[in-house]
Amino acid sequence: MKKRQVQASVKDERLVKKRRDQMIKGAVTLFIQKGFHRTTTREIAKAAGFSIGTLYEYIRTKEDVLYLVCDSIYDQVRERLYEGLDTKKGTIESLKQGISDYFKVVDEMQDEVLVMYQEVKSLSKDALPYVLKKELEMVAMFEHVVTLCVENGELDLAMEEVKMIAHNIFVQGQMWAFRRWTLQKMYSLEQYIQLQTELLFQGIQGSASAVEFQPDSRSQK
């Protein structure tokens, strides 16, 4: 499945890239504030720094903007996720590191993750599969890392368990963003990482006192 093409009237590829980057940047800000539906194309154009006419030289419909935004955010997250997970050698330690890196990425890109998360559903039936595919690719990265641990004998898991775990990790990352209204009141990022990692590895029954919880390490925002 190739990248879904968004048609532009302008030919110059470099310019298209540049203008779309402006557009995406402006749109993300607006979508964060008011959501996709409550943001007008005029506002997007303005935030991007050009006229409404120019906006439509680079997209066909408003929904194209949403697609471009989602696509861009996914790419960024994935890229950063990839950096972190790429070099892992299939040890538990490296898995923990990978999770920690991912949670930090989500933390840094909270707003973007939130937007992507809340607005994908507004994508047309046409565009949705392209975006969901990217999501699955990210899940697959975790799957891969966990699988390596299994192959190395560090973990003993069935394939179904591996998949489930990968999904859980992925969602727990997103959760930090979409439940921030409560989670981030209770935990610092470090605590969140520590707790989730511990629970993931030890489970409930073995978790007690496995790690010393540090209530004071909460980072201020």
Partner DNA sequence: TATGAATGAGACTTCATTCAT
Partner DNA sequence: TATGAATGAAGTCTCATTCAT
Residues that bind a second copy (CB under 8 A): 35, 37, 92, 118, 121-122, 132, 136, 139, 155-158, 160-161, 163-165, 167-168, 171-172, 175, 179, 181-183, 186-187, 191-192, 195-196, 198-209, 213, 215
Q: Residue 79 interacts with DNA (CB under 7 A)?
A: no
Q: Residue 119 interacts with DNA (CB under 7 A)?
A: no
- Smaller CB distance to DNA: residue 27 or 77? 27
Q: Tokens 């969901």 map to which residue?
A: 132
Q: Residue 34 interacts with DNA (CB under 7 A)?
A: no
* Nearest-angstrom CA–CA distance, 192 and 186: 9
DSSP 15-67: HHHHHHHHHHHHHHHHHHHHHHHHS-HHHHHHHHTS-HHHHHHH-SSHHHHHH
41 binds, among DNA, a second copy, none (CB under 5 to 8 A by kind): DNA
Q: Residue 61 interacts with DNA (CB under 7 A)?
A: yes
Question: Which of 17, 33, 35, 52 is close enough to bind DNA by CB under 7 A?
Answer: 52
Q: How far is the CB of 139 from a second copy (least distance, A)?
A: 8
Question: Which of 21, 33, 60, 89 is close enough to bind DNA by CB under 7 A?
Answer: 60
- Smaller CB distance to DNA: residue 13 or 160? 13
Asked whether 76 and 109 are in contact (CB, 8 A), the reply is: yes
Q: Residue 11 interacts with DNA (CB under 7 A)?
A: yes
Q: Which two tokens stand for residue 219?
A: 């980072």
Burial string for 134-148 (b: 16+ CB within 10 Å, else e) reads bbeebbebbbebbbb
Q: Residue 40 interacts with DNA (CB under 7 A)?
A: yes
Q: Which two tokens stand for residue 9?
A: 């009237």
* Nearest-angstrom CA–CA distance, 41 and 106: 28
DSSP 146-158: HHHHHHTTS----
Give, in order, the Cα–Cα distances in Å from 77 to each of 5, 106, 139, 156: 20, 8, 12, 29
Question: Which of 4, 62, 80, 180 is close enough to bind DNA by CB under 7 A?
Answer: 62
For binding to DNA (CB under 7 A), which residues are involved?
A: 9-12, 15, 19, 38-42, 50-54, 56-57, 60-63
